[in-house]
Amino acid sequence: MTSTLSKHLAQLQGNPKILGQSLRGIEKEGLRVDQGGRLSTTPHPAALGSALTHPSITTDYSEALLELITGTHSTVDALMTELDQVHRVVATSLRDELLWNHSMPAQLPPEADIPIAWYGTSNTGMIKHVYRRGLAQRYGKTMQCIAGVHYNFSFDESFWSALDLPQAEAKDRHSAGYISLIRNFTRYSWLLMYLFGASPAVSRDFLRGQTAGLQTLGDHTLYLPYATSLRMSDLGYQNKAQAGLKLCYNDLTMFLQRLYDAVTTSWPDYQKIGTRRDGQWLQLNTNVLQIENEFYSSIRPKRTTGPCERPITALAERGIQYVEVRCLDIDPNEPLGIAGQTARFVDAFLLFCAIQESPPFADSGWCPESASNFASVVKQGRQPGLQLKSQGKDLALATWAEQLLEQIGLCAETLDGALADTRYAQSVAAQREKILDTEATPSARVLAHLKTSRISYQDYALEQSSAHANTLRRAGLSAAEQALAAKQAEQSLVDQAGLETGDTEGFDEYVARFHRALKPPSQA
């Protein structure tokens, strides 16, 4: 244990209430599919209300890609209770469909027939839709069907004060703390992919006739023998514009400046597409990124924004509020896509990243060594004897993982003490089996089932997703839960209609105002 980690653990153990004020929330994606496992091409179900204004149920890139959103909670138990409830609402509302509970997609129609998410005719809804049109132009619609679990986490402001960080102003103190956390997350997030990656295979149809260097498993499945998460590999989102985007994680100001450059600098290939064709918007602009959220990363610094406020401006003015962990695969064995045990481990992992020493990255503020480690683990993390790089030296994945688990375990024990729990330490102990035996990892279990059962990835995923849907439907909704779900759906439709009738400016003018709202970080 490093002296920095030891000191910070002692400070937190002396103030146990601080960790009890941490908050966590989940955004879980999942495709709507029919009973045969084919992607739904129907509109967002009316029973689920408006995807634009519903507080818990929206869509992501595709009309068929549901996103289930919880509020923030001070305990994992409360978080999982709400996630379970919103899943039961969806399961009981989808009469002829079900939620695909895997990260890699179901059977897809031709590219042109994949529906882009629609949010109605208000300016607010149209800007979301046009942004997704741009994503289709830039990355293709097929990539929009990849799904995952996003884990949002924040420490109370008193947490950063307790650590005696040098920044005087609260905004600077907690932003510096979160940026330090992000640097360590970048260093060590390969461990999450090894422990929780669950997408080592994909349907052959997903690659539209290509193999992308993958091996065949039967007639309909492609895979890599030691992969943990094809979702997080270069098989997913990739293009030349983002490939050269290396954001700086040494301080918030430089991070935001590079992000600002990306959302304001035109890219030649996107210039060729243009923003409109035959009077229809194709993308919001021709820049490297249309908006900040187009930057695909395993973790993001976040701040709640107001109407027409840009994330860069909000972060520059008020600092980082929380982090969004974006690299977790859907757990195919869990009806909710994530287990409470996993959530507790992520809590402990983030605490470790926050209080462990986090020296700045050299030169550009971006760490190619960490990026290489992450890429190696998502494609070959279970390869026997796999070596990663730690400060330029080779280090066996298993050796490094054991060292990290020991330190994360100390953080878990501190969380147990603060929350009067025992399950944080248990969540870390449960991961040790995966280090000792690669066959205990979720990715290995997926491949083992595919090989022993001799069924395709498509059939395997459909079988599991159907079983989970039936489990949730049998649990059903209480009368109070059913009434709340109906009220939320009805109110969201009313709210969307209000936005559509209340617009006082044309869409072109609205987009121009949206772009003008972006300020250089130095002027925010």
* pLDDT above 70 coverage of the chain, percent: 97
The CB density around residue 479, as the number of other CB atoms within 10 Å, is 7
Residue 241 has pLDDT above 80, yes or no: no
Does the pLDDT at position 397 exceed 80? yes
* pLDDT given for residue 170 in this prediction: 61
Asked whether residue 417 carries a pLDDT value surpassing 80, the answer given is yes
pLDDT tier for residue 332 given thresholds of 50, 70 and 90: very high
What is the arithmetic mean of pLDDT over 428-436?
Answer: 97
> What does the pLDDT read at residue 210?
87
Average pLDDT estimate for 429-450 = 97
- Determine the pLDDT at residue 236: 55
> Does the structure show a pLDDT above 90 at 3?
no
Task: Please tell me the distance from the alpha carbon of residue 366 to that of residue 243, in angstroms, as a whole number.
Answer: 13
Collect all residues with Cβ–Cβ distance below 8 Å to 5 and sequence separation of at least 6: 352, 355, 356, 357, 407, 410
Convert the pLDDT of each residue in 268-280 to its tens digit.
999 999 999 999 9
171 has pLDDT over 70: no
pLDDT of residue 169: 60
CA 447 to each of CA 57, 97, 135, 192, 506: distance values in angstroms, whole numbers, following the listed order: 32, 26, 31, 18, 52
pLDDT of residue 95: 87
- Give one DSSP letter per residue of 83-95, joined into a string: HHHHHHHHHHH-S
Decide which of 391 and 400 is more confident. Answer: 400
Average pLDDT estimate for 193-205: 96
Q: H/E element holding 78?
A: helix 76-93
464 against 238, higher pLDDT: 464
pLDDT recorded at residue 161:
87
Q: Residue 238 pLDDT > 70, yes or no?
A: no
SS (H, E, C) 135-168: HHHHHCCHHHHCCCEEEEEECCHHHHHHCCCCCC
Tell me what pLDDT residue 285 has: 97
Task: Determine the Cα–Cα distance for residues 150 and 83; give it in Å rounded to an integer.
Answer: 12
pLDDT at 366: 74
Read off the pLDDT band of 168 (50, 70, 90).
low
- pLDDT, average across residues 472-497: 98
Helices (H) and strands (E) in the chain, counts: 20, 14
Mean pLDDT throughout 28-55?
97
Percent of the chain with pLDDT over 90: 85
Whether 203 and 212 have beta carbons less than 8 Å apart is answered as no
Identity of the amino acid at 406 = E
Q: Is the pLDDT of residue 55 over 90?
A: yes
d(CA 141, CA 28): 19
**What pLDDT score does 165 carry?**
66
Q: Is residue 104's pLDDT more than 70?
A: yes
What is the structure's pLDDT at 164? 73
Quick check: 323 pLDDT over 80? Answer: yes
Task: Return the residue matching tokens 């121009």.
Answer: 512
212 has pLDDT over 70: yes
Q: Output the average pLDDT for the chain.
A: 94
DSSP for 5-35, written as a single string: HHHHHHHHHTSTHHHHT-EEEEEEEEEEEET
DSSP state of 521: G
pLDDT class for 383, splitting at 50, 70, 90?
Answer: very high
Over residues 135-152, the pLDDT tens digits come to: 999 999 998 899 999 999
Residue type, 244: G
Which of the residue ranges 12-16, 37-41, 79-83, 148-152 would you say has the lowest mean pLDDT? Answer: 12-16
All residues at 6 or more sequence positions from 46 whose CB lies less than 8 Å from its CB, including other chains: 489, 493
Strands (E), 162-220: 201-203, 215-217
Please say if the pLDDT value at position 442 is more than 80: yes
Q: How far is CA 50 from CA 44, 98, 495, in A?
A: 8, 18, 8
pLDDT in tens, 294-309: 998 999 999 999 888 9
Residue 115 is predicted with a pLDDT of 95
Instruction: Using pLDDT thresholds of 50, 70 and 90, give the confidence band for residue 510.
Output: very high
Main-chain dihedrals φ then ψ at residue 434, nearest 5 degrees = -70, -30
Confidence of residue 1 (pLDDT cuts 50, 70, 90): low
Per-residue pLDDT reduced to its tens digit, 63-102: 999 999 999 999 999 999 999 999 999 999 998 999 999 9
Among 41-55, 227-241, 347-361, 422-436, which stretch is predicted with the lowest mean pLDDT? 227-241
What is the value of pTM for the model shown? 0.96
CA–CA distance, 291 with 78 (Å, rounded to integer): 33
pLDDT at residue 173, rounded to an integer: 85
Residue pair 175/181 in contact (Cβ under 8 Å)? The answer is no
Look at residue 125 in the predicted model and tell me its pLDDT. 97
**Beta carbons of 197 and 232 less than 8 angstroms apart:** yes
